[in-house]
Amino acid sequence: MDFSVQLLAGLSLLMIFGLINNIQADHHEMGKTKWGIVDGEEVYLFTLKNKNGVVAKITNYGALLTELHVPDRDGKIDDIVLGFDNLQDYLSGHPYFGATVGRVANRIAKGKFRLDGKEYTLATNNAPNHLHGGEKGFDKQVWSVKSANTHRIEMTYTSADGEEGYPGQLVTTVVYSLADNDTLRIDMSASAQTPTIVNIVNHSYWNLAGHDSGNILDHQLQLNAQSYTPVDQTFIPTGNIDTVKNTPFDFTQSKKIGQDIEQLPGNGKDDPGGYDINFVLAGELGQMRLAAKVKDTDSGRVMEVHTTDPGVQFYTGNFLDGSIKGKNGTTYQKHAAFCLETQKYPDSINKEGKEGWHSVILRPSGSYVHTDLYKFYTE
C-alpha cells in the first residue's frame, strides 16, 4: 500500500471516529430543549431517561422538577408530579411546584434572625413570617447548567451577599440523577465565604396515581418519625418536640393520609385544614435513612423517600383551591397532591442551641450537604 492510500485510509478512519463522537455528543444533548428566556438568560428543559421508561424533566429555571413519568403495576406510565406544560405558567406564580427552595426553606418567624450578634430582617412574604427564601428565592432564579446528559444534570446558582436580606455570598449546586433501578437522586450542596444560614429543599408535589387523578387522601403513608414539632397559629414551631402517639400525626404504621385529616380542620383561609407540619426523623443528621413510604393501592405505585436531613415537612396541598390550571389543563383542587420536604426544622435559626434542634448556620470552614433519594417500585 503506497503512502497516498495509507493517508486516505487514515483520514477515513478519523472521519468515522469524528462522526461517532458527534453522534455520541448529539445523544447526550437529545434531552435539551429551549424553553424560553428569563431576565435575559436562556431557560432549557432537560429530559432524563432510564432503561425502564422512567422519564424526569427538569428546567434550570428554579432547578425545578416539572415531570416524572413512572410505570404502575401493569406497566402504564403516568406523570406523578404537579406542574405546568410551559415556562410562562411558572413565571405567572405557583405554590413552589417541583422547586429547589432556598436560601432557607420553610418559615422564619417574623422575618427576623440574629447571626453573630447582628440582626437581619427578611421579607415577610407569608405574613407575618418569611417563607421559602423570600420574594425571589432560588425557585425564581435561572441556574447555570454545568453538565447534562440523559441520566444526570448539574446546576449551580450564586446568591449574592444581601440577596433577599441574607448575609454572605452562597454558591449552591444541585444535581439530579436518574438510575436504572428507578431511583431519582437529588444532591444539594453549598459553600460560603462568610457566615450565613442555609436550608435547601425540593418542593415537589406528588400524586402517585397521576397528577391529574384527583386527591391523595387514599394514599397510604408511613413515616419514620416518632415525634414532630408543634406550631403556633402562624405555623412557627413552638420549640417543643412532642410525641406523635395518640395524635393525628401518628404515621408510625402505614395508614391512609385521609384517615385522621378531619381532626385538622384549620381556622379559615390562612389555615384551610390538613397536614402542614415538620416530623422529626429517626436516625442521625447526615446518615442516609428511610424517611417515608407512600403507596397508591389502585396503581400499585410505591415511593420511598430516603434523606440525610433530620426532618420532613408533610404537606397535603391544603392551599390548592382549583384556581390553578396545570398540565393538560388539569385543575388542581385541595389535597390534589402531597409534599414530603426533607429539611432542617422550620425557624431553626431562632431555636439555635435548643436541645434536639439542628443548626442552619454555615461558616466558611464548613459545608452544606443534603441528599434525597426517591425510590419507585410497585406492589
Would you please indicate which residues are annotated as catalytic (active-site) residues? 203, 341
What is the rounded distance in angstroms from the CA atom of residue 11 to the CA atom of residue 163? 55
User: Residue 13 burial by CB count (10 A; 0-12/13-18/19+): exposed, middle or buried?
Assistant: exposed
What is the rounded distance in angstroms from the CA atom of residue 129 to the CA atom of residue 124? 5
Who contacts 246 (Cβ-Cβ below 8 Å, separation ≥6)?
A: none
Who contacts 47 (Cβ-Cβ below 8 Å, separation ≥6)?
A: 30, 31, 32, 33, 55, 56, 57, 150
- Contact (CB, 8 A) for 43 and 87: yes
Helices (H), the chain: 3-29, 87-91
User: Which grid cell sits at 109?
Assistant: 418567624
